[in-house]
Structure 1
Amino acid sequence: MKALLSHAVGGPDTLRIDNVPSPVAGPGELLVRVQAAAINYPDVLIIEDKYQMKPPRPFAPGGEIAGDVIALGEGVEGWAVGDRLVAVPGFGGLVEEIVIPAKSAFRLPASRSYIDGAALILTYGTSIHALYDRGQLQAGQTVLVLGAAGGVGLAAIELAKAKGARVVAAVSSDEKAAAASKAGADVTMVYPRGPFDRDGQKALAEQFKAAVGPKGADVIYDPVGGDYAEPALRSIGWGGRYLVVGFPAGIPKLPLNLTLLKSCDVCGVFWGAFAARDPAANAAHVATLFRLWDEGKIAPVVSKTYPLDHGGAAIADLAARNVIGKLVVTLD
């Protein structure tokens, strides 16, 4: 079978297509024919050995897949050859065939495409855990979403609106603002590109404060980090929750005196660890996501697809932070 593999530490240009033996499903496992694999920011980091998980090489990036069951390992129940599924293996998805634990897979309805299915679980799973669990979001509250036109950002907008919240979407271009508005954002603001000096950070903080309103944001959803983090935190309201989701702009250092002055919480969001530690709660979230999808309240936005041999280009495009929604590699 074909696989897009990382043989050495480096960027997307170091990946190459190899022919490798097909895997075999062991006890409790499913052998899956991959039809589509979504690209996420961990794919940018994992091939450079900058992610918390460092698989032995050679390995394929691609942490989120949709496909068909082609073989069952010993002891697997409830699945049959030909069943459609989605799963988040963490890595290894940019291959024609992959083995996954049966307990980690979720059924993909026949009415949904492999491309949309591959783009659902990781971003929406992250956002529903962040907003509903860590952020304790309630109807009528104000949410500030940074990086609001990316995969997790658009998911956060839709899930916050499904909860009845007011959403302020912060983005870096007018095109992204239009995408955020289409997803349901009540207010959009376009911020400049960092890095920022102190005056630039102060100006950005005032921009955030004006956008969220005089009471401040009840929840701040930050998948960006870097120089955007402190200005965003300065716009938080009394008792607010600041959700730490990711750091494509760099790992920030927050002045803790702000948390005292606002009596606010800074909450880490590690969806992968949550899903592993509490699979029942994660499965309940996934069921909620499929229900909201059926109700038309959420819908993955896939802005571009790539063939397997251009998977490196997909990772490079995501790293450039110019993407709206999700990118998906197709293998059908």
Structure 2
Amino acid sequence: MKALLSRTPGGPETLELAELPDPVAGAGQLLVRVKACAINYPDVLIIEDKYQFRPERPFAPGGEIAGVVEALGEGVQGWAVGDRVIAMLGHGGLAEKVVVDAKAALPLPPERSFEEGSALILTYATSIHALLDRGRLQEGQTLLVLGAAGGVGLAAVELGKAFGARVIAAVSSEEKAEAAREAGADAAIVYPRGPFDKEGSKALAQMFKEAVGPKGADVIFDPVGGDYAEPALRAIGWEGRYLVVGFPAGIPRLPLNLTLLKSCDVCGVFWGAFAAREPQANAAHIRTLFRLWEEGRIAPKVSRTWPLEQGGEAIAHMAARRAVGKLVVTMG
């Protein structure tokens, strides 16, 4: 089989297309022929040794896939050869075949494409955990979403609307604002590109405050970080919840006096650890996501695809923060 491998730490240009022996399903595992692999920001970090997990090299990046079951390992029940499947891997998805834990795999509905199936779990599961468990979002509250046109941002917009919130999307271009509005955002604002000096930071804070209204945001969903974080926090409401989701713009330093003045919470969001520590709660969220997907209230937006041999270009596109919705690599 072919796989796109990271042999040394570096950017997407260091990835190499290689031939490897087909993997074999062990006890409790499925052998899956990969049809589509979604690209996420951890793929940018993991090949540079900047992610919290560092796989032994060589390895293929790619953490979520959709495909077809080719073989069953010993003791597997509930699955058959030919079944369509969604799976989370952590890494290894940019390959023609993978083995996955049968108990962790999910059935891909027959009416859904492999591309859409591969793009569902990571972003939406992160967002539903963030909004409900960490943000305690309630119907009628105001949700401010930064980076609202990226995969996880659009998921937060859709889920925020599904849960009855007023959603304000903050993005870096009019194209992205339109994508956020199409996903259901009540309003969208286009912020300038950082970094910001003191006056620029104040102006951005004022932009956020005007967008969310005089009571401030009840929940702020921030998958961006950097110089955008403090201005967003300044727009939070009394006892609001600021959700720390990611840092593609850099790791911010927040003035903690703001948390005292607003009696607000700064909440970390680490979905992978939550799923491992609380599998039943995570499974309940996944069931909710599938129901909302079936009802048409959420739908992964796959904006662009690449073939496997050009998978590095997909990761580079993600690293440049040009993605609208999800980026997917497909296997011939």
The aligned residue for residue 8 of structure 1 is: 8
The offset of 1:126, in angstroms, is: 0.5
Tell me how far apart the structure 1 counterparts of residues 120 and 39 of structure 2 sit (CA, whole Å). 11
The offset of 1:238, in angstroms, is: 0.2
Tell me how far apart the structure 1 counterparts of residues 60 and 125 of structure 2 sit (CA, whole Å). 22
Amino acid at match of 2:64: E
Residue-by-residue CA offset, 1:209-245 (whole Å, 9 max, x unaligned): 0100000000000000000000000000000000000
Tell me how far apart the structure 2 counterparts of residues 38 and 280 of structure 1 sit (CA, whole Å). 25
The offset of 1:279, in angstroms, is: 1.6
Tell me how far apart the structure 1 counterparts of residues 281 and 101 of structure 2 sit (CA, whole Å). 18
The offset of 1:291, in angstroms, is: 0.7
The aligned residue for residue 189 of structure 1 is: 189
The aligned residue for residue 149 of structure 2 is: 149
The aligned residue for residue 118 of structure 1 is: 118
Counterparts in 2 of 1:67-216, with a 5 A limit? 67-216=67-216
Counterparts in 2 of 1:1-332, with a 5 A limit? 1-332=1-332
Amino acid at match of 2:149: A
The offset of 1:294, in angstroms, is: 1.1
The offset of 1:79, in angstroms, is: 1.1
Tell me how far apart the structure 1 counterparts of residues 33 and 128 of structure 2 sit (CA, whole Å). 28
Residue-by-residue CA offset, 1:89-113 (whole Å, 9 max, x unaligned): 0110000000111121111011111
Tell me how far apart the structure 2 counterparts of residues 228 and 327 of structure 1 sit (CA, whole Å). 24
Amino acid at match of 2:97: E
Amino acid at match of 1:144: L
Question: Alignment RMSD, CA only?
Answer: 0.7
Amino acid at match of 1:72: L
The offset of 1:27, in angstroms, is: 1.2
Amino acid at match of 1:156: A
Instruction: Look up the SS of the partner of 1:132 in the other structure.
Output: helix
Residue-by-residue CA offset, 1:26-75 (whole Å, 9 max, x unaligned): 11111111000000000000000000010000000000100111111111
Tell me how far apart the structure 2 counterparts of residues 108 and 285 of structure 1 sit (CA, whole Å). 16
Instruction: Look up the SS of the partner of 1:139 in the other structure.
Output: coil
The offset of 1:198, in angstroms, is: 1.4
Deviates more, 1:190-199 or 1:275-284: 275-284
The offset of 1:246, in angstroms, is: 0.2
Instruction: Look up the SS of the partner of 1:62 in the other structure.
Output: coil
The offset of 1:21, in angstroms, is: 0.5
The offset of 1:305, in angstroms, is: 0.5
Tell me how far apart the structure 2 counterparts of residues 246 and 94 of structure 1 sit (CA, whole Å). 23
Deviates more, 1:114-123 or 1:77-86: 77-86
The offset of 1:137, in angstroms, is: 0.5
Aligned residue pair count: 332
Q: Which sections of structure 1, spanning at least 5 residues, go unmatched?
A: none
Q: Which sections of structure 2, spanning at least 5 residues, go unmatched?
A: none
Deviates more, 1:99-108 or 1:114-123: 99-108
The offset of 1:308, in angstroms, is: 0.1
The offset of 1:323, in angstroms, is: 1.1
Amino acid at match of 1:256: L
Tell me how far apart the structure 1 counterparts of residues 47 and 85 of structure 2 sit (CA, whole Å). 26
TM-score (norm 1): 0.99
Amino acid at match of 1:197: D
Tell me how far apart the structure 1 counterparts of residues 133 and 85 of structure 2 sit (CA, whole Å). 26
Instruction: Look up the SS of the partner of 1:215 in the other structure.
Output: coil
Residue-by-residue CA offset, 1:160-191 (whole Å, 9 max, x unaligned): 00000000000000110001000000011000
